[in-house]
Structure 1
Amino acid sequence: MLTLEEKIQIRPPASGKTAIRPLSLSACVLLSSVLAGCQNMPFTGTMEALSLSSPKQQHIASHDFQLTDGQNIVGTLATIDTRENDTLPDIARHYGLGYNDITIANTQIDPWTPRPDSRVLLPLRFILPEAPRKGIVLNLANMRLFYYPPNQPDTLFTYPVGIGRQGWSTPMGSTRIVAKRANPTWTVPASILREHAQKGDPLPKVVRAGPDNPLGSYAMPLGFPGYLIHGTNKPYGIGMQISHGCVQLYPEDIEVLFNKSKVGMPVRIVHQPYLTAWDQDMLYLEAHEPLKKWARQKPKLKKKLHKDLKKISKAQNVTIDWEKVDRIVERADGVPTPILAGSPGITELSTAAVQLEHPDQLYGQPVVADLKESDWAVLAGTFDNENDAQQLAVMLSHQGPPIPARKIEKDGAYQVIAGPFKNKKEVKTVAQRIHMDFELDAKPLEPGAIN
């Protein structure tokens, strides 16, 4: 029985052997029942043009930054080359990015099965939202939280978040943290109980702390009744509209934020898809596609952006490249890009990005144990295409809680086998999860059934 606040779903095609469509969460294929408003805007940079001659760095700032007086932009663009078995979600998590961050900046790369040695752009430069720098500021448009510690005006922490999906929007406005709870119990709201019951996925009224609790290990209720900032047992949903309105962080990030935050700390939630900032003598624009709730307001938002830029142009006596502004708004990839006449474009920015060494192990990357003959397992699906099988296997391993899986070639086809599991009961539970999350008829396999 599923006791998750959200699901990652893929749907099989209408005909042929069980197969998975080529997927891209940035194209809104995954999370079909829970994600609304994700964007797939093309990244027009020429990744092949990135310089190969610069020495690679081992580390880069991604979560905490030092601010100077008046500074409104932090961070650095970077790149990394993929290795065998990498996924974009694994890379995103390791470097403090969300799913949407990394996929809209790398639309030419399959998120779940990238080819080895693919060059991935890490959009690790952020323009700060326009809001008082006190406590927590959350910008829904780029699904990112900014934390300004009390009495430390020169310090900033920033984390990607998951937010409310369409119909369960995260509220905007000013509020506060009203409580802090480690190892929280989740009392399931009646509306969520009804939603899951209608899907044939009934939930208990109370979910205790543990791997099935969608709140994760830490929760901080807000002054908005029923809304929290909390962890998650499905970390690969961070950077998406996936929750029932709460704000979710990676488990490792919520632990840091939980320990730094205090009851009573202010929280301001805004929606600012277009952000501008000066860095030395260069004016930057960071653009995100407005969330679906604000889609009809896009013309108005663009008009306001143009009005604000005209004021800047007049006040600073600078010339803005208006065609470039429109291209950045249309691209909406979240990469801060200079907009003054004659300024560098996205290709030049990509070429100058810091190149990173690949770590020995990406943080949190699933490791799938070998299957023994005595293990119980689940046949999740059979595929004609090897990439489809690998995609499902990887996605199962990234579920929350994880479903360890691998592809196995057999009789000219590719099977996805999940396991190892301890007993028949566990196998039935996993098969039901796969059916609910992926709409696939998973088949339990007794010990010795895998040849």
Structure 2
Amino acid sequence: MSNTQKSLLPSTLGLAVIFAAIVLSGCQSLGVSPDPKTITQVAPEITQTSIPTHEFALTDGQTLIGTLATVNTRENDTLSDIARHFGLGYNDITLANPNIPAWTPATDSRVLLPLSFILPDSPHQGITLNLVNMRMFYYPKSQPDKVYTYPIGIGRQSWNTPTGLTRIATKKANPSWYVPASIQKEHAQKGDSLPTVIGPGPDNPLGLYAMNLGFERYLIHGTNKPYGIGMQVSHGCVQLYPEDIEALFNNIAVGTPVRIVHQPYLTAWHNNMLYLEANEPLAKWAHDKSHQKKQLLKQLRQLSAEKNSAVDWEKVERIIARADGIPTPVSLSSPNEAELAKAAVPIKHPDQLNQQPVVAELTDGDWSAVVSRFDNGTEAQKLAAMLNHQGPMIPARKVQQDHSYLVVAGPFKNKQEVNAAAKRIHMDFAIDIKPLQPNSSLSKKL
């Protein structure tokens, strides 16, 4: 089971907390001249180049791991690029940064990296998948003092990933995908005929590695659409970034227990403070939200009594309403959201974000296509970015022509590649493209 070829533009995500801007430090030069001197503020140099994203030390009784960090965007970055580099999913990065456009962030935007997690309430054995925040936690038997965590993609509405206790039943590198009849029917209704079997390769939605679960027809696997991680996009299977499934595949043995849970509200005792992580329940469990909230409040009262730590109940309500998945202290007089964001560790932007799409230059000898025309350059850049993050990638760029902006896809090797891209763009975006033949300049083609 896997995701269909669909737009990576999901339904609108709920807004989360607005985090405070980083405070600049500086000094004032006092001279002997009576003329007033300009006060210059200088941003501190960022020297830290990395931060733990997947592997965390784990002590007895510890339930909160990681820390918040920040990174400033560069030209042509998207939040999806930053998320993938730092081991986050689309849900993580967009909920933490509700005021930053996901596909067109302004250069030098300060992006909060929510690399702090509360472990699910489950045994620290094998694999736990918490569907609500779309995250895997792996506790290696040979490393009882470690936990590894990865973002995942899960089943979309009406194709929900099941919950319960299962195991890794089998493993397969370079798997073939045996397309279920239900998925063949779904694609046929869209005018897209699928074969009964798709072999290994770039068109295989399972990616390069697959691990079958004890639940029949459900797998943990890679994907050829990596920017769907952190979304509900599959037909029920659990997807990982290609680099993450590769790292896990050889270390997870057949028989490893897998617990799939839906735990929207998580608590922890950390640094002498009570912490709460709140996530919006998935649609399947939305009817039970009030009961889940009552259970949370009961648990917080018990922890408050056990730890002799008073709770800021107004803050609890604010965190539940915000539902951004960021662990936040709720003890009285604990740091507020803005203070947490201000204290986040600044990370130097890497020279190259991991797997960030690179669009090849378009030459006169290439096939290409006009996808759409916009009066607004930002909207054109957004569509180009979304095409570049399709799986497999459809190379695209924004081209200004007079007072409008074109989204031009390519290069393509031949007309067959153009037609294949045209079919995908029509299915995913309901846009009919205009093919452009080679051997003439782009300006002449347009």
Normalising by structure 2, what TM-score? 0.93
Deviation at 1:165, TM superposition (A): 0.4
Q: 2:403 — aligned with what?
A: 412
Distance 1:313 1:370 in 2: 60
The within-5 A match list for 1:109-148 is 109-148=100-139
Q: Which amino acid aligns with 1:385?
A: N
**1:342-397 CA-partner distances (Å, limit 9, x unpaired):** 11111000010000000000000000011110100111111111111111111111
Matched, 1:439 2:397: no
Deviation at 1:312, TM superposition (A): 1.1
Q: 2:81 — aligned with what?
A: 90
Matched, 1:354 2:345: yes
SS of structure 1 residue aligned to 2:368: strand
Contact in 2 for aligned 1:41/1:330 (Cα 8 Å):
no
Deviation at 1:41, TM superposition (A): 2.6
SS of structure 2 residue aligned to 1:141: coil
2:15 aligns with one of 29, 33, 41: 41
1:326 aligns with one of 304, 317, 320: 317
The within-5 A match list for 1:362-441 is 362-441=353-432
SS of structure 2 residue aligned to 1:129: coil
Contact in 1 for aligned 2:2/2:237 (Cα 8 Å):
no
SS of structure 1 residue aligned to 2:53: coil
Matched, 1:316 2:307: yes
Q: Which amino acid aligns with 1:251?
A: P
Q: Which amino acid aligns with 2:442?
A: I
Distance 1:176 1:4 in 2: 19
Q: 1:105 — aligned with what?
A: 96
**1:11-49 CA-partner distances (Å, limit 9, x unpaired):** xxxxxxxxxxxxxxxxxxx235xxxxx731322322355
Distance 2:24 2:247 in 1: 34
RMSD, aligned CA: 1.5
Gapped runs of 5+ residues in structure 1?
Answer: 11-29, 33-37
Q: 1:31 — aligned with what?
A: 10
Distance 2:235 2:311 in 1: 41
**1:389-440 CA-partner distances (Å, limit 9, x unpaired):** 1111111111100001111111321111111111111111111111111110
Contact in 1 for aligned 2:46/2:348 (Cα 8 Å):
no
Deviation at 1:53, TM superposition (A): 3.7
Deviation at 1:268, TM superposition (A): 0.3
Q: 1:298 — aligned with what?
A: 289
Q: Which amino acid aligns with 1:46?
A: A
Distance 2:256 2:372 in 1: 48
The within-5 A match list for 1:170-319 is 170-319=161-310
- Cα distance, 1:333–1:31 mapped onto 2, change above 3 Å: closer
SS of structure 2 residue aligned to 1:179: strand
Deviation at 1:449, TM superposition (A): 6.1
SS of structure 2 residue aligned to 1:325: helix
Gapped runs of 5+ residues in structure 2?
Answer: 26-42
Q: Which amino acid aligns with 1:5?
A: N
Distance 1:394 1:353 in 2: 28
Q: 2:156 — aligned with what?
A: 165
Distance 1:327 1:338 in 2: 12
SS of structure 2 residue aligned to 1:327: helix
- Cα distance, 1:73–1:231 mapped onto 2, change above 3 Å: same
% same residue? 62
**1:324-349 CA-partner distances (Å, limit 9, x unpaired):** 00100100111111001111111000
Contact in 1 for aligned 2:85/2:353 (Cα 8 Å):
yes
Q: 2:442 — aligned with what?
A: 450
Q: Which amino acid aligns with 1:281?
A: N
Deviation at 1:278, TM superposition (A): 1.0
Q: Which amino acid aligns with 2:253?
A: K
Distance 1:50 1:6 in 2: 46
SS of structure 2 residue aligned to 1:409: strand
Contact in 1 for aligned 2:367/2:437 (Cα 8 Å):
yes
Contact in 2 for aligned 1:50/1:351 (Cα 8 Å):
no
Contact in 2 for aligned 1:163/1:247 (Cα 8 Å):
yes
Contact in 2 for aligned 1:56/1:354 (Cα 8 Å):
no
Q: Which amino acid aligns with 2:10?
A: L
CA radius of gyration, larger in: 2
Q: 2:7 — aligned with what?
A: 9
Contact in 1 for aligned 2:18/2:97 (Cα 8 Å):
no
Q: Which amino acid aligns with 1:175?
A: T
Deviation at 1:6, TM superposition (A): 2.8
Distance 1:56 1:76 in 2: 17
1:342 aligns with one of 333, 339, 344: 333
Q: Which amino acid aligns with 1:325?
A: V
